[in-house]
Structure 1
């Protein structure tokens, strides 16, 4: 019984560490509000144009900004903020290149945006140095999508291709709200009648949302994994998000878990199950469909370059192995090393500070105890031995 309870308590602590790690990677509330103010201003400027092509334009976020799964890119400070510039009443004959050109002209006419405007393949980028950059992709309504989808430029700007940022956001957030089935397990101290709790154990930190955190951890692990490999083969974020979303729904509705960490690992384990693999004429093809519009295959590039599919499966196996190994690590040094290898040394160190500080404070005040089968704890329980305070130099303090 003690071994099981010890694992449960360790997993709860690990969840707290991973939660803090995610918090350090995402847009803060103030950053999000600043980004929103910035893209609202861009929207107002575009809508005020005399050019009738864009006078009905509406700016709204898509991707990770919209669903709360942003992850700071490695090697730079700026976050990516993806936006859609949607023209609700376009000319029937408007081409992607024409609409993109009109949007660019309007942005260049603003003295604030012109110096920080950069043209990308399918969108315009406004660079706010040290903060974030706004990627603005043109779109028009898709009359062939009953789910309210849109059309966005293809890579060459020669034709429109289906997408549905708003529908995708709605589906993701609906799945994120699904409450997982968790066993109600009492604390070890409460289950052992031979112990009496003198001081309550600190409340454990939970994931702000298991699905969003699964996506963030997966994306960060991907960025670290491909840092020394070919980054062009890394799975795009929408593939990770889509597979995690579908896997979370399946796991949350069909399995009962002991801890959030168990659920996290199981969601990652099931992600490849939602990839459709077909073999035609001896050639393998992969399909990860956008459930909110027809004919959008997020794995389209895999079929042009199978190395991308192989890279996904190799990375996925490493992600799962790294997450599962966390529950077996003994000692803070090994945990620090493993988290740093998987998610980056700086975010890992900052996240672990939240775990070690309460222990250090308890040691300084004499509240740190060594309880059987648990290890170091700040809860004073019967049958526990006090740990003498020490200084940062390792000697006992008087």
Structure 2
């Protein structure tokens, strides 16, 4: 049943509708899973040269933590997996040899021969008009922590620290407050309900990534990478149960953390602080400046939205941030939901507060049917 208790609640509903449309489809998810399993099985097969090193294949990044975003037109979404081989990295003279071994094994699979692209730290498999899958070779580094690893880097011809498993566990722990809230305030959804509940933090990450995709569409080389945006969002998440309030708090926190000029914001892996997730900004200062100016403007825009007096008055800003077609679509869907609740006499207003609700409660009055569409109605 549609319920809106305030402007923030209505705004939350719009943001959740946007996030729902940003999800990759079930078919895309199944296809990605099939690709992931096929590659994992091939790398770890008994006849594989890697088999003697007991490779452990696992996903990392947005697919693992549930923040994958449907790409904008003309873009692909990327998936990441780790191929962790059980080697003592200190005994490996040429770290890039591990990268070579993964690449050579993939070349033995006829389908992949023309799809491979050698990157700085990974081997990319490009699936035409679908997505690309980055395979990151790694070796365990228990001296730095239980789940820490090192990965070969072609540019430095050495090892770089990382911790994909630890990072994912940290992010999930940051989002956990929402699951605790649900357990305390709401019974579990029936298993047959096709509804995916997602923590506000994960929704905010999806929204910020969509803003990034649009903001830097003309020059993707300066676009902030997903892991940096995800880490900053999780670090500044205050446990808010409202998506709009969580976004406001996160943006305010990021802007407040930006150091004075001539210094840059340092974003480290919270579960392996040897890994500088933002090191690319050292190589491209223009990209850092673009991030700073962009995130400050995003924060200012969101402050304008928070001061709004109704969805019609802020929809233009929402279109600028998250896309015109997408925003128009969800605003229309929401208006139709409200109109349906009104026509079925399920929309009520609390006499003492003026709050609209789809639930009948003591002290509420029914809102009469309104047959014209496009009202500039302002919800309290």
Q: Smaller-chain TM-score range?
A: 0.7 to 0.9
1:89 aligns with 2:87: yes
1:222 aligns with 2:212: yes
Report the count of equivalent residues. Answer: 354
Aligned to 1:261: 244
Distance 1:247 1:79 in 2: 26
Aligned to 2:15: 18
Q: 1:343 aligns with which of 322, 338, 345?
A: 322
Distance 1:378 1:8 in 2: 9
Structure 2: which 5+ residue stretches go unaligned? Answer: 182-194, 375-380
CA contact (8 A) 1:365 1:389 kept: no
Aligned to 2:128: 129
> Post-superposition shift, 1:176?
0.8
1:317 aligns with 2:307: no
Question: What does 1:112-261 correspond to in 2, within 5 Å?
Answer: 112-156=111-155, 158-179=157-178, 208-228=198-218, 230-248=219-237, 251-252=238-239, 259-261=242-244
CA contact (8 A) 1:46 1:107 kept: yes
> Post-superposition shift, 1:25?
1.3
CA contact (8 A) 2:7 2:309 kept: no
CA contact (8 A) 2:200 2:241 kept: no
Distance 1:360 1:99 in 2: 60
User: Which deviates further from its counterpart, 350-359 or 364-373?
Assistant: 364-373
Cα–Cα, structure 1 residues 218 and 166, in superposed 2: closer, same or farther, change >3 Å?
same
Aligned to 1:4: none
Q: When the two structures are superposed, what TM-score results if normalisation uses the length of structure 2? A: 0.79
List per-residue Cα deviations over 1:116-156 (Å, max 9, x = no partner): 33333332222333432211111112243124211112252
Distance 1:146 1:258 in 2: 32
> Post-superposition shift, 1:40?
1.6
List per-residue Cα deviations over 1:329-354 (Å, max 9, x = no partner): 45655443222110112322333243
List per-residue Cα deviations over 1:210-250 (Å, max 9, x = no partner): 1111211111112212224x4322222111111111111xx
Distance 1:305 1:336 in 2: 34
Distance 2:358 2:208 in 1: 32
- The secondary structure found in structure 2 opposite 1:287 is coil
1:386 aligns with 2:376: no
1:35 aligns with 2:32: yes
Distance 1:52 1:261 in 2: 50
> Post-superposition shift, 1:42?
0.7
Question: What does 1:62-77 correspond to in 2, within 5 Å?
Answer: 62-76=60-74
Aligned to 2:271: 292
Structure 1: which 5+ residue stretches go unaligned? Answer: 1-6, 183-204, 393-398
Distance 2:255 2:345 in 1: 49
CA contact (8 A) 1:59 1:86 kept: yes
Distance 1:308 1:12 in 2: 35
- The secondary structure found in structure 1 opposite 2:168 is helix
Q: 2:57 aligns with which of 48, 56, 59?
A: 59
Aligned to 2:101: 102
- The secondary structure found in structure 1 opposite 2:79 is strand
User: Which deviates further from its counterpart, 112-121 or 141-150?
Assistant: 112-121
> Post-superposition shift, 1:266?
1.2
User: Which deviates further from its counterpart, 136-145 or 333-342?
Assistant: 333-342
Q: 1:301 aligns with which of 276, 280, 301?
A: 280
RMSD: 3.5
> Post-superposition shift, 1:90?
5.9
Q: When the two structures are superposed, what TM-score results if normalisation uses the length of structure 1? A: 0.76
- The secondary structure found in structure 1 opposite 2:92 is coil
- The secondary structure found in structure 1 opposite 2:236 is helix
> Post-superposition shift, 1:209?
0.6
Aligned to 1:396: none
- The secondary structure found in structure 2 opposite 1:75 is coil
